[in-house]
Amino acid sequence: MRQSADRKPLPEITDLTRPFWSAAREGKLVMQKCPSCGTIDFFPKPWCLECGKREREWVEVTTRGTVYSYTVTSLVMMNLPGWEKDLPVILCLVDLDDGGRMYAQLVGCPPEEVRIGMRVEAHFEQISDEAGIPKFRPL
Amino acid sequence: MRGKVAIVGYGRTPYSRVKPGEPVLTVDEYIAWAADLALQRAGMSKNDFDGQGLAVAHAEAAHTVNWSASVAETLGISPKVLLRADQGGASAAALLIRAAAVIDAGIVDRVLVVGADTPLTIPSVAPGLPLSPERSRGPYWDFQGPFGVMGATAQFALIQRRYQHEYELTDEQLAKIAVVTRYHASLNPGAIYRKPITVEDYLNSRVLSAPLRLFDCVPIVNGGLAYIVTSAKSARTITDRPAYLLGFGEVNNYYHGSRTRPDVTYTGFVKAAPEAFRMAGVEHKDIDLFQPYDDYPFIVVMQIEDCGFCKKGQGGRFVQERNLRFDGDFPLSTDGGQLSGGQPGGAIGGFAPLIEAVTQLRGEAGERQVKDVSITLSLGFGGIPYGRPGRSCAAIILGSEG
C-alpha cells in the first residue's frame, strides 16, 4: 500500500480509476455513466452494475449532494495513523444529486450539527502529484 | 434436501487474546486442534476423510493460491472433494450447504469442515492496527482507505445511524443484547470475556465511531473451529444425537432496492431466511434457539427483523419485550455470541453460531443448556460491501430429528 508523507493511505491508481483521481486533482467530480442505460455509479467498476454493458463513459457530475448517513469517528481503526491528527473525523455516505453514493468526509461542521438529509457540497484536496480527493462542507 | 445430512461432531479450540506468555499458534495448528476435537467427539479418524471431503474456510492469514489443498497436505488427508469458502462470516454456513450438496449428489459421504485464523498475529501495514496487506489492496480499499473509512466499526456505524434515522432503536435496547450475551458468556467456559456487565457499563463504554461504542464491538481472538457433516444414514451409525440440516437459504451481494443506492436498513436475510424456513417446513414459533451473527448488537436487531420474527423497524421493541436468556422465551447467542465469546477474525467467527446450535441440540451446553431445544436457526453473515451491510447471508435451520 502506498502512503503519503503524513502517513495517510494513497490509492494504487490504475487505468480504470485514473480519471476519478485526475479530475479530483483538477477540482472536478467525475463518475462513470453507462452510455446504454444511463446509470451513474461510484466507485469505478469494469461494467455497468445495472445492465452489464462494458462501455463506460466518465461524466462530470454536480458536486452537491445529501448526507445519507454519517458517523463521527474518534479512534483510528483499520486505517493508517496519519488520520490521528484529524480526529474526530466525520465520515458520511453522500448521495450525489446526479446519482451515485460515496464515502466522504464532512469538514467545516461541528460534529453535533451533522444531520441525515443535510445538503452538502464537495471541494477537493490534493493528496499526491496524481490524485485529489473530494471532501464535503455544509451548503 | 431436508434431513439428508447431519452434523455429527464439532470442535472449538480455546481462544487466545495473545497475552504475554501465552503460546502463539499458527493457523495450521489451530485447524489441526479444532479438527482433532471434532474427530474425537465423532469417534472418527482423519484417515476416514481420505477419498471424502475436506472443506476449508478462507483465513486472512492464508496467503496461497491453493489454500484448501495446502490444508489437506498439512493434515495428511487425501480428499476426493476440496471445498473452500471465502465468504467471511458466512463461510461456515456456506460450506455446510456445499457439503450437503456434494453428499446428497452421492459424490462423497462425509466432509470435514475446518476454519481458523490468527487476526491478532497477522502481518500489518500499520503497526498496532489489524490492517493486513490483503485488506489494503485493490479498488475496494482505494475508495475507502484514502477517504478515511476506519474499518468495520465506521462502516457499520453508518448503517446503524441510518437505521436509527428511519426506525426507533434505543441505546437501552442495544445494551440488552450486549448484557445478555455477556451473561451467557459467564456460563460458557470457552468464552473470552466472562465477567457480567450492566446496561450502565454498556452506556458508559467509550464511543469509537458514533453511534457505535466499545461494547458494541466483538473482541478479536486467535482460534479455530471445525465440524463434521455426513449423510443422514451414516450419521445414525456415528452418533445417537445427529444435528440434521433441515433447511438453508443463502444470498450473496444482496441489494435492497437500487444497486447504486440501496436501502441499507435491510440485509440479505429477507431472501435467505424464508428459503430456509420453506425447506425446513417449520415456522418462527418452532425455533427454540436463535443464533444470529452478532458482530454488533444492532446487526442482531436487523437479523431478527429480516428473518421475520417481527416487522421491519420493530426489532428494538422485540428485543425489549422478549426474554433473550437461555431460559427465556427467545433465547439467543447462548454461547455468549461473538460479542462476548470472541471472534477469530471476520473469516472464521461464523462457525460459532452454527457450532453452538449443534452443542445445544446435542444437550451438551452445560449450565446454559436451553430446555427441550429441538430446532435452531443459525446465521452466517460475511464481508462488508461498499456502503452496505453484509456481502453474504446464509441461514441454517438444524433439528434434532431428521
Q: In this predicted model, what pLDDT tens digit does every residue of B204-234 receive, in sequence order? A: 999 999 999 999 999 999 999 999 999 999 9
Nearest-by-Cβ selection for A70 from B143, B158, B260: B158
Residue in chain B nearest A11 by alpha carbon: B142
Distance from CA of B154 to the nearest CA of A (A): 7
Distance from CA of B333 to the nearest CA of A (A): 26
What local confidence, expressed as pLDDT, does residue A1 receive? 81
Distance from CA of B144 to the nearest CA of A (A): 7
pTM of the model: 0.97
From the candidates A18, A20, A32, A73, which should be mutated to test the interface with B, based on the most B CB atoms within 10 A?
A73
Pairing of strands A132-138, A64-73: unpaired
For chain A, residues with pLDDT lower than 50 are none
Residue in chain A nearest B138 by alpha carbon: A12
Q: Is residue B49 over pLDDT 80?
A: yes
CB contacts under 8 A, A 57-86 vs B, are 68-81, 83, 86
Q: Do B158 and A93 touch (CB under 8 A)?
A: yes
Q: How many CB atoms lie within 10 A of CB B206?
A: 9
Q: Do A73 and B157 touch (CB under 8 A)?
A: yes
Q: On the CB side of B329, how many CA atoms lie within 13 Å of its CA?
A: 8
Nearest-by-Cβ selection for B154 from A9, A10, A71: A71
Confidence bin at B135 (pLDDT 50/70/90): confident
> A93 touching B, CB under 8 A?
yes
CB contacts under 8 A, A 12-41 vs B, are 12-14, 16-17, 39-41
Average pLDDT over residues B179-196: 98
The separation between the first and the last C-alpha atoms of chain A, rounded to the nearest angstrom, is 34
* Mean pLDDT across chain B: 96
pLDDT 10s digits, B142-179: 999 999 999 999 999 999 999 999 999 999 999 999 99
Q: Do B209 and A77 touch (CB under 8 A)?
A: yes
What local confidence, expressed as pLDDT, does residue B295 receive? 95
Nearest-by-Cβ selection for A49 from B154, B208, B259: B259
Count Cβ atoms within 10 A of the Cβ of residue B180 and give its class: 0-12 exposed, 13-18 middle, 19 or more buried: buried
From the candidates A71, A106, A125, which should be mutated to test the interface with B, based on the most B CB atoms within 10 A?
A71
> B278 touching A, CB under 8 A?
no
Helix or strand run (H / E) with residue B155: helix B151-166
Contact B20, B51 (CB under 8 A): no
pLDDT 10s digits, B391-400: 999 999 999 9
d(CA B6, CA B113): 13
CB contacts under 8 A, B 243-262 vs A, are 259-261
Domains in chain B (CATH in brackets) are 5-123+217-399 (3.40.47.10)
Q: Which domain holds residue A102?
A: 2-138
Q: Is residue B127 over pLDDT 90?
A: no
Average pLDDT over residues B355-372: 98
CATH code assigned at A48: 2.40.50.840
Confidence bin at B130 (pLDDT 50/70/90): confident
What local confidence, expressed as pLDDT, does residue B139 receive? 85
Q: How many CB atoms lie within 10 A of CB B44?
A: 18
Q: Is residue B63 over pLDDT 80?
A: no
Query: What's the distance, CA B29 to chain centroid?
Result: 21
Q: Do A116 and B162 touch (CB under 8 A)?
A: yes
Query: What's the distance, CA B309 to chain centroid?
Result: 19
Q: Do B154 and A91 touch (CB under 8 A)?
A: yes
d(CA B235, CA B233): 5
Q: Between helices B151-166 and B297-306, what is the axis angle to 10°?
A: 50
Percent of chain B with pLDDT over 90: 94
Distance from CA of B261 to the nearest CA of A (A): 6
Residue in chain A nearest B163 by alpha carbon: A69
Pairing of strands A2-3, A9-10: antiparallel
Nearest-by-Cβ selection for A70 from B137, B142, B161: B161
Residue for grid cell 452445560: B366
> B345 touching A, CB under 8 A?
no
Distance from CA of B263 to the nearest CA of A (A): 10
Nearest-by-Cβ selection for B157 from A71, A76, A81: A71
> 3-state DSSP call for residue B364?
coil
| Number of domains composing chain A | 1
Q: Is residue B309 over pLDDT 90?
A: yes
The complex's ipTM works out to 0.98
Average pLDDT over residues B253-271: 97
Chain B residues within 8 A of A115 when measuring between CB atoms: none
What local confidence, expressed as pLDDT, does residue A92 receive? 98
